[in-house]
Amino acid sequence: MSDDFATGFYKKRFFQFLVYIFFSFMIGGCLEEYELNATSTDVRPLTTPVSNNYLVIDTIETTDVRIEENNVRVFFSMWNNDLRCYEFDINNDKVADIAFSCNLTRGPIGMYSYGGSSIGALNKNTEIDIKRTKYALANYSFTFLDYSQRPVTIHNRENYIQGKDYPADLKVDTITATNPKIHSLGDTLDQSGTWSSGAFAMVYDKIQQDYWMESIHTGIWRGVDRKFIGLRYTEGRRRYYGWIELKSSQSDNAYEIRMYRYALKVKL
């Protein structure tokens, strides 16, 4: 690489860094407290015995299951972000327990884009039933001549596609994403779940256009409607199970979570 070419390259990278900082402050979402792809290892077994409690997901209210209608839309796009973060109190103790958030940060001329939707447990008494999923990533490069006939090498990292014709230098590695597990009507929520406090992406997308290109997409909640997230709330020596019914959708320019209702088992 010549001195002139190297100088131009690093100048361009420095400029992109400054633009990134600027746009992050201008259009970033409300995810300061919870990262999109965050994971937590705070799976906390109680040190004392608890009652053998469980909850079968059903939308019919009973004497020991309280269901609350809560038609809230959390939405973020480049043009409209009226409600991009929403916190609510699931057990009516006047302390927020759960937060939903949508975020989209995009650089000029499509240089980069980071976005997604997430759910976060706001205290250690509240836990979410999670699922860990592995994604294969393809790493490869290709070289071409620029306008001055200098060789330019582009490095690419993207979701691996079975059967795609990749260059000979292909290397495949994996990443693990932790998302809230998708539940359906009739599922049982109990101690056999993988329960954890923390913040977890529902959908996450990262696109970078430069000498190092990335196109990484994770998250199991793409285009999911009328499904449930399992919750568990601990109070003293007792655990209460609950759920949130919701929709998750996304496009190139927007992310949306629509919460329909939630429930908590309040009597043992």
Average pLDDT over every residue of 202-219: 94
d(CA 179, CA 37): 8
Report the alpha-carbon angle 192-196-197, nearest 5.
150
d(CA 131, CA 151): 44
Average pLDDT over every residue of 126-138: 98
pLDDT in tens, 10-61: 344 444 444 333 333 333 444 443 344 444 433 333 333 344 589 999 999 9
170 C-beta neighbours (distance < 10 Å), count:
14
pLDDT in tens, 69-114: 989 999 887 776 667 899 999 998 999 999 999 998 888 766 888 9
- At 236 the pLDDT is 87
Residue of 126, 153, 127 lying closest to 211 (CA atoms): 153
Residue of 21, 221, 40 lying closest to 117 (CA atoms): 221
pTM value is 0.80
72 CB-contact burial (10 Å; exposed 0-12 / middle 13-18 / buried 19+) = middle
Q: Looking at this protein, which amino acid is placed at residue 150?
A: R
Q: Which residues pair with 217 in a beta bridge?
A: 205
- Domain hosting residue 125, numbered range: 3-265
Name the domain count of the chain. 1
Encoded tokens for 162: 């079975």
